[in-house]
Structure 1
């Protein structure tokens, strides 16, 4: 047994404890999924890392799931989830308590994208905290914060300046032992800097002193959950928002001479021609360039699918019941 790891360090809560039988407590082990592959799963537990091969008797699982295994490290069952991120029947992440939605207060401030991320969090039945970054670059912080607050009067909003000596002091109060945190944010929002200020990825203890890259130790005993699928989900949401917000500009972009046109100095740029012809405003194109610069690694030729109706049930009965059980 790795004495440096405990179930509570990994995000264990009363909600999951209440699902255990006497046999589980006497004879079985508890582990959390930290990696998913086509052939099986990696589990992290008080015993360290364990490989679990896929089998017909297993349900589909994802990073963050809690499972019961026997003394031979064979699958027994999966515990009920408190929250689940999924998209098009693809499992993304499970048992996330709180999501930090990160948005910059500079020119890339995007209220519609915050709204889209809130949809994802509410559909997953997790709680959301909006973190507004780069406050040092904004002269109308209070106005933008008020715009975000109008999305949900009960929404918790924190404004941080990453350049200050204690930029995240207000956030760490939300990190409690046993809680699992995830972070969503568009490229350029300051999400990466936020993570670097929270944890040191070079320290083995951050990874619970085992080889895995999905669950990380946060201040005050909380757990940060990250995964490629979760990053793809937030990139997809950002891409959908981009194609929705700038649909008219992208229509002109589809007629550019070069597929990789940056819409600055290239010959045959349809966007530049549209500005000259008075069909697009230069100010709107400038806003598109700033936003597009963050998403050049995304395929902006794809059409965005319609956004789901925005759910404002931040304190729905089912989530309130689940989270109260874990206090």
Structure 2
């Protein structure tokens, strides 16, 4: 047995422990999926890597799943998931406890994309923490205004603001990393994900990596684990592209409005409203464009003038978790 790997370091929790039988404890092995290929799964266990051939009798599995194998490394069963990310029936990742949704506070700030990521996390039944980066590139008023816009998405949403000049906010993030917790990170290109990861862990440090060759699970502070995968990166990229393309359609229409400060509500000569009335653009896209470009609240009758910076660039809720963990 590789003493440098423990189940808790891989994200093991009480919820999974409660699913074990006496045979599992005495004769079987517990492993976590860390790589998925068309004909093979790679599992990471206390004993090291296990190769498991894909069989028609097996359920579909994804990175993050917990699996029971026998002494000959043959599949026995998959444990029930605590969380699951999927997209159009494609499995992305499972058993992620907390997702850090990373968004830059500069001109790349996109409230609609943050909202979409929150919806994905909510649907997966994970928890979310929004991390607003590059605070040092904005003045304090702008930081407060954008943070307030995010907070209005959910009054109970946890939000952390970080910058490149201070380590204190990053240290505050580490307090969310508990033993056995699995963490993932979502964010659009340019949001500061890579810098955030480097501030949390040293990828050049051998202790960050488990002592076997795999690239999906990494040690985080306080005994938690970071889960990353090509599928997860593809998901966040596709959502970012979808959000950007949807806003671009409305942005091109907005350029044709009679007034430069048009809020696309009831102004005469509004090209966006005309396209909406003619069925040429979806109402959801128009609302998304307003959220991204205005201090806009759908429940309020007041809308402020557009922010020039935004025009230059074209839930998680409090709920009972499926399982309880003794910290």
**C-alpha separation in 1, matches of 2:41 and 2:246:** 37
The answer to whether the 8 A contact 1:204-1:210 is kept is: no
- Partner residue, 2:180: 178
How many residues of Structure 1 are paired with residues of Structure 2 in the alignment?
278
Q: For residues 199 and 63 of structure 2, what CA distance do their matches in structure 1 show?
A: 24
Q: For 1:176 and 1:74, locate their aligned partners in 2 and report how far apart those are by CA, in whole Å.
A: 32
User: Aligned partners of 2:159, 2:74: CA distance in 1, in Å?
Assistant: 43
List per-residue Cα deviations over 1:289-317 (Å, max 9, x = no partner).
xxxxxxxxxxxxxx99x79xxxx46233x
Shift of 1:241: 0.7
SS at match of 1:220: helix
315, 318, 321: which one aligns with 2:318: 315
The answer to whether structure 1 residue 35 and structure 2 residue 56 are counterparts is: no
Q: Does 1:197 align with 2:180?
A: no
- Higher mean alpha-carbon deviation, 25-34 vs 242-251, is at 242-251
Equivalent position of 1:132 in the other structure: 132
CA distance in 1, matches of 2:108, 2:323: 33
Matched, 1:221 2:208: no
Match of 2:62 in 1: 62
| 1:151 matched residue in structure 2 | 153
Give the distance between the partners of 1:165 and 1:145, measured in 2 at CA: 19
Query: What is the alpha-carbon distance in structure 2 between the residues aligned to residue 219 and residue 124 of structure 1?
Result: 24
Q: 1:250 to 1:84 in 2, by over 3 A?
A: farther
Higher deviation after alignment, 104-113 or 164-173? 164-173
1:51 maps to which residue? Answer: 51
Q: Which residue of 2 aligns with 1:262?
A: none
Q: CA deviation at 1:249?
A: 4.8
What's the offset of the Cα at 1:250? 6.3
Partner of 2:76: 76
Q: Give the 3-state SS of the residue equivalent to 1:324 in structure 2.
A: coil
1:234 aligns with 2:236: yes
Structure 1 residue 57 displacement after superposition: 1.7
* Rounded Cα–Cα distance in structure 2 between residues aligned with 1:122 and 1:278: 37
Deviations 1:218-275 (A, max 9, x none): 0111100000000000011111110111114568xxxxxxxxxxxxxxxxxxxxxx97
TM, length-normalised to structure 1: 0.80
Alignment of 1:276-295 (within 5 A): none
Distance in 1, Cα, partners of 2:175 & 2:184: 15
Alpha-carbon deviations, 1:110-131, whole Å to 9, x = none? 1111001001000000000000
> So what's the TM-score if we normalise by structure 2?
0.80
Equivalent residue, structure 1, for 2:275: none
CA RMSD of aligned residues (A): 2.4
Q: Is 1:182–1:225's contact at 8 Å kept on the other side of the alignment?
A: yes
Aligned to 1:121: 121
Compare 157-166 and 135-144 and name the one that shifted more. 157-166
Q: Distance in 2 between matches of 1:10 and 1:37?
A: 20
> How far off is 1:153 after superposition?
0.7
Cα distance change of structure 1 residues 326 and 84 upon mapping to structure 2, 3 Å threshold = farther
Deviation at 1:321, TM superposition (A): 3.7
3-state SS of the aligned residue for 1:181?
Answer: strand
Report Cα offsets for 1:128-183 as digits up to 9, x if no partner: 00000011011121111111110001100000112224441110000001000000
2:86 maps to what in 1?
A: 86
- In the alignment, which residue of structure 2 is the partner of 1:6? 6
Change (3 A) 1:49 1:70: same
Match in the other structure for 2:112: 112
Aligned residue for 2:324, secondary structure, equals helix
The 8 Å contact of residues 15 and 326 in structure 1, kept in 2 or not, is answered as no
- Indicate the residue corresponding to 1:255 in structure 2: none
Kindly indicate whether the alpha-carbon contact (under 8 Å) linking 2:127 and 2:316 is maintained by their aligned counterparts in 1: no
Residue pair 1:243, 1:250 contacting (<8 A) in 2 also: no
